[in-house]
Amino acid sequence: MESRTSHNLFEVYLRLRPSPPGAPASERILTVEAPETKEEEAQREATGVTHITLNPPTDRRRAIEKFAFTRVFEPDAGQLDVFHSAGVVPMVEGVLARDGGDGTDAMIATLGVTGSGKTHTMLGSKTQRGLTQLTLDVLFRSIGLNMLEGLDLASAADSLQASDPSEATLITAPNFIDAVCGDAPGSRSRAATPMIGESHNHLSPGPARRNIQRPSALPQTPDVSNIDLCCDASAEYAVVVSMYEVHNDRIYDLLSPPSRNATSKDIRRRPLLFKSTEMSPDRKVVAGLRKVICTSFREAIMVLEAGLQERRVAGTGSNSTSSRSHGFFCFEVKKRTHSRRPGPWGGSKLTIVDLAGSERARDAKTAGATLVEAGKINESLMYLGQCLQTQSEVGTSSKPNIVPYRQCKLTELLFSNSFPSSSSSSQPQGPRRNPQRGVMIVTADPLGDFNATSQILRYSALAREVTVPRIPSITATILANAPPMAGRPPSPVQTHHPRPFMPPGSSGSYRVASSDERATMELAALEIARLSDDIDHLREEVDIQTEARMTAEAHLMSMEDRMLDLEASIRDDCATEFEERLAIELARFKSSLLLEQERNDEHWDRKVDVLERGLGSDEADDKENVLVENLEEEVERLRRENVILKRELASRSPSKRRPLEERGDCASSPQGSSTKGEGVAQLGRKMEKMHLSNSNSRTPNGASSGSPKKLRRLGNRKWEHEEDADLEC
């Protein structure tokens, strides 16, 4: 079996946890086999142990499997052994990029069954440092004097914030620590989670959160002060820490306090988005995190402790050590040229991942929400397993290997930086980043659950071989039915190691049987062997089917959850759209109502106009009527005057009695044959005519030659003269 290493995704190491003292060695399911040849021994000295054997429990008839890893750490391996042998130091060197440039991202992750030692490996214990502390110690020590100083921090914070592509809120470590530690004044108040894109002064204390205790003494062992790496001498550095967890396929910030719902007063954590940014279109980032700028190892450890506490409390509601979520601890090593006019910030990041432990729902006896949670964890680990298996199949498969890492948040976060970034069309000049270097430390308990351990090993091993197929122990079966041999206890070896079928009688230790009996026994043995084979087959089938059913159930649960989410979002969308449309329709209705009102008003205005105009024409008619009345009055008056004049004429001398006839009556009767009666009637008509012509030809000053007043004022001489003329006629 060839163990092969991958340079693209992860180097996979297996770490066996020590067994409790007094545990029976016979129950060990994982063993490291001793080298059988000198060559094997030499190779082991050079590379260390690379294979592990998985022995099924004795009550099961399953094949013995052998798994290959980059290296297997036996139970006695300490934290420092793992730190050195897993190649953490070269990874830190890659992140520091001493020869200039941005460096290479690094990721160290642990994978294993619950209780197998993942957290112990990554975070250590009260007395021992884990890989995280050791790595950070080396990192900060190596940066040394090139670390940004306190005085420069204020100005650097702004530029760090500006260069961050993840819409994060940056805060300095002293302020963050003051806000989260129980001894900080005013730290008891809980402020809201900053919104995405929201920023506040990174020098002011950020919102307070759960109170944590300042650790009085941090573990000092193992000591890594002898490891001294070089950093880029021409650069100044800052370390930006962010922490988040993946729980039920959602990402939550561990450095932001949960916000309190305004209405229900519930404390809620807002899930974050994992999205592409303009600055790095082909690389995704977790958007909206809170990040803390640390300039010393101690600060980084304090921030780490705060995030871990949040993870414990938020994940389980208690300070339980069991990880119910996948924890991501990111240390972005920012660097820029160290000169009077510093250049832009670049750098790379080191991510430490403490994955949740896989657990068999049947064995863990979980129920309800915890079962769903366990289902989600198992589902995400199954997807991770698929990705890792793709890596192990690279050498054996002729098909192009596409890592299916987009199936869940966990694998997206773990693998999205594992491939070289292609410069996008929008940024053709953009820097081309190296794929991250990844180390996966698989932890296993040699005394742990066989099925769970077997599944994890199958997922993660670089290669696998079924080395010793277990043949049913036919002889043992037959011998078990045979009468015990006198004076000799049955050997335990017989139950563990297959032996070829020995026909009774070939050895003196068996009783001599007749040929018939032998033939029957041989047939029986063959039948038993066949049945045992069938049973083995069926058992394996059942195991596979059970595993598949559990996976399907977990998948179903997650799908149901997604459906609910989808339904909720569709409902939200529908409600929003309905409200928008309602608002539009209301606005339209209001505007048409206004228009209608305006039209009505206009209509009424026009009606009023018509009415007014109608009333105006009536007035004109009235004026005409008044004029007619005036004329009638005038005629009446003239008639009266006429009567008066007639009376006057009648009272005058007979020689002067026909003055009016002189003025026109003679014209109407040129023959002079008109009678006296006709003359009087004509006079009346003349008078009316005269009056009308007077009224028509009235001069502006009111003077008229034919005015009756003037007529009245005519002197006697005139009348006489006129009368004379009449007479002449």
Ligand X SMILES: Nc1ncnc2c1ncn2[C@@H]1O[C@H](COP(=O)(O)OP(=O)(O)OP(=O)(O)O)[C@@H](O)[C@H]1O
Smallest gap from residue 115 Cβ to ligand X (A)? 5
Q: Is 117 in the site for ligand X (CB under 6 A)?
A: yes
Q: Is 323 in the site for ligand X (CB under 6 A)?
A: yes
Tell whether the torsion through CA atoms of 91, 93, 96 and 100 is positive or negative: negative
Please, which residue, 115 or 165, has the CB nearer to ligand X? 115
Q: Is the peptide bond preceding residue 222 cis, with omega within 30 degrees of 0?
A: yes
Answer for which of 9, 11, 17, 212 binds ligand X (CB under 6 A) is 17
Residue pair 638/688 in contact (Cβ under 8 Å)? The answer is yes
Please, which residue, 166 or 443, has the CB nearer to ligand X? 443
- Annotation-wise, does 368 bind a ligand? no
Q: Is 124 in the site for ligand X (CB under 6 A)?
A: no
Measured CA angle at 220 (ends 115, 326), to 5 deg: 35
Stretch that binds ligand X, among 208-216, 321-329, 485-493, 655-663 (CB under 6 A): 321-329
Smallest gap from residue 521 Cβ to ligand X (A)? 51
Q: What kind and span of H or E run contains 244?
A: strand 235-247
Number of residues this chain uses to bind ligand X (CB under 6 A): 17
Residues 384-443 that bind ligand X (CB under 6 A): 443
Smallest gap from residue 457 Cβ to ligand X (A)? 15
Please, which residue, 104 or 443, has the CB nearer to ligand X? 443
Q: Is 460 in the site for ligand X (CB under 6 A)?
A: no
How does strand 259-260 pair with strand 11-16? unpaired
Q: Is 451 in the site for ligand X (CB under 6 A)?
A: no
Smallest gap from residue 386 Cβ to ligand X (A)? 20
The DSSP annotation for 677-728 comes to HHHHHHHHHHHHHHHHHHHHT--TTS--TT-HHHHHH--HHHHHHHHHHHHH
How many whole angstroms separate alpha carbon 592 and alpha carbon 590?
A: 5
Give the type of residue at 377. Answer: I
Smallest gap from residue 316 Cβ to ligand X (A)? 10
SS3 state at 98: coil
Smallest gap from residue 46 Cβ to ligand X (A)? 24
Q: Is 705 in the site for ligand X (CB under 6 A)?
A: no
Please, which residue, 336 or 360, has the CB nearer to ligand X? 360
Please, which residue, 115 or 706, has the CB nearer to ligand X? 115
Smallest gap from residue 223 Cβ to ligand X (A)? 18
Please, which residue, 76 or 278, has the CB nearer to ligand X? 76
Q: Is 326 in the site for ligand X (CB under 6 A)?
A: no
Please, which residue, 74 or 724, has the CB nearer to ligand X? 74
- Annotation-wise, does 718 bind a ligand? no
- Annotation-wise, does 117 bind a ligand? yes
Smallest gap from residue 447 Cβ to ligand X (A)? 11
Stretch that binds ligand X, among 317-325, 367-375, 411-419, 677-685 (CB under 6 A): 317-325
Stretch that binds ligand X, among 114-122, 207-215, 620-628, 687-695 (CB under 6 A): 114-122
Which residues face 310 on adjacent strands?
none
The secondary structure of the chain in percent helix, strand, coil, rounded to multiples of 5, reads 45, 15, 35
Short-list 430, 463, 458, 462, CA closest to 7: 462
Terminal-residue alpha carbon distance, the chain: 167
Please, which residue, 322 or 674, has the CB nearer to ligand X? 322
The DSSP annotation for 264-322 comes to T--EEPPEEEEEE-SSSTTSEEEET-EEEEE-SHHHHHHHHHHHHHHHHHHHHSS---S
Q: Which two tokens stand for residue 337?
A: 């040229």
Give the type of residue at 52. Answer: I
Answer for which of 116, 133, 348, 418 binds ligand X (CB under 6 A) is 116
Residue pair 461/517 in contact (Cβ under 8 Å)? The answer is no
Answer for which of 3, 53, 85, 322 binds ligand X (CB under 6 A) is 322
Q: Is 112 in the site for ligand X (CB under 6 A)?
A: yes
Smallest gap from residue 374 Cβ to ligand X (A)? 11
How many whole angstroms separate alpha carbon 727 and alpha carbon 665?
A: 11
Answer for which of 18, 342, 435, 498 binds ligand X (CB under 6 A) is 18
- Annotation-wise, does 88 bind a ligand? no
Q: Is 119 in the site for ligand X (CB under 6 A)?
A: yes
Smallest gap from residue 498 Cβ to ligand X (A)? 35
Q: Is 321 in the site for ligand X (CB under 6 A)?
A: yes
Residue pair 257/171 in contact (Cβ under 8 Å)? The answer is no
Residue pair 53/33 in contact (Cβ under 8 Å)? The answer is yes
Q: Write the burial class of residue 563 (CB in 10 Å: 0-12 exposed, 13-18 middle, 19+ buried).
A: exposed
Residues 348-387 that bind ligand X (CB under 6 A): 356-357
Smallest gap from residue 179 Cβ to ligand X (A)? 28
Short-list 259, 299, 310, CA closest to 176: 299
Smallest gap from residue 348 Cβ to ligand X (A)? 27
Please, which residue, 323 or 682, has the CB nearer to ligand X? 323
Q: Is 19 in the site for ligand X (CB under 6 A)?
A: no
Which residue, chain included where needed, has tokens 């794929």? 435
Residue 110 makes CB contacts below 8 A (sequence gap 6+) with 118, 119, 121, 122, 353, 354, 355, 440, 441, 442, 443
Answer for which of 6, 70, 104, 114 binds ligand X (CB under 6 A) is 114
Q: Write the burial class of residue 443 (CB in 10 Å: 0-12 exposed, 13-18 middle, 19+ buried).
A: buried
- Annotation-wise, does 118 bind a ligand? yes
Residue pair 18/25 in contact (Cβ under 8 Å)? The answer is no
Stretch that binds ligand X, among 57-65, 320-328, 517-525, 664-672 (CB under 6 A): 320-328
Stretch that binds ligand X, among 219-227, 319-327, 543-551, 649-657 (CB under 6 A): 319-327
- Annotation-wise, does 119 bind a ligand? yes
Q: Which residues bind ligand X (CB under 6 A)?
A: 17-18, 112, 114-120, 125, 321-323, 356-357, 443
Binding-site residues, in ranges, read: 112-119
Known binding-site residue numbers for ATP: 112-119
